[in-house]
Amino acid sequence: MSTAIQSISLSGKKKEVSKKEMTFLERLYLIAIIKGLIITIKHLFRKKITVQYPEQVRQFSPVYRGRHMLKRDEQGRENCTACGLCALSCPAEAITMKAAERKKGEEHLYREEKYAEIYEINMLRCIFCGLCEEACPKDAIYLTISKELVPANYDREDFIFGKDKLVMPLEMAIKNAQLKNAN
């Protein structure tokens, strides 16, 4: 006796599934095992598509989005004003921050009157979509084109990247300013 199960097809490729009694031979699973083995053996001689990272490194796409960087301006000041738009636009809810008010004498450190005292990205949540970069009105966060990957680690806490790992190195800001002036 067979029971036909009607399936709803969203792709337009409708398939009817029937549930019929298995024969003695089918219940032995011998044919199925042999079929499976044939498939496995066939794959042994095919070109391997697995990349043996880290010994082997894949070619990066020209539009690759790498690790985040919190940008400084030409004077080395942090651009971020802790408005929170990046966190709001993040679909993975990976960004958290704490805002602080710039004090007198800190004008050389922070470009705006408000800055991010704490800025953290949870790299375990991040999907590198780049929406934080697009949402930022201050040109403060961007996903670098450097091929640097988020390193593997054993502790979850090590994947929370704070300002120490995110803020652009001062030397890089100075170099960028020099290049801009030269052009």
Q: Is 136 annotated as a binding residue?
A: yes
Q: Is 176 annotated as a binding residue?
A: no
With a CB cutoff of 8 Å and minimum separation 6, the contacts of 24 are none
12 versus 137: smaller Cβ distance to ligand SF4? 137
9 versus 75: smaller Cβ distance to ligand SF4? 75
Q: What is the DSSP string of 81-111?
A: ----HHHHH-TT--EEEEEEEPPTT-TTTBS
Stretch that binds ligand SF4, among 101-109, 130-138, 157-165, 167-175 (CB under 6 A): 130-138
**132 touches 92 (CB < 8 A):** no
List 77, 81, 168, 173, residue binding ligand SF4 (CB under 6 A): 81
User: What is the total count of residues that contact ligand SF4 (CB under 6 A)?
Assistant: 28
With a CB cutoff of 8 Å and minimum separation 6, the contacts of 150 are 67, 123, 159, 161
Which residues of this protein are in contact with ligand SF4, per CB under 6 A? 80-86, 89-92, 94-95, 97, 116, 121, 126-132, 135-136, 138, 140-141
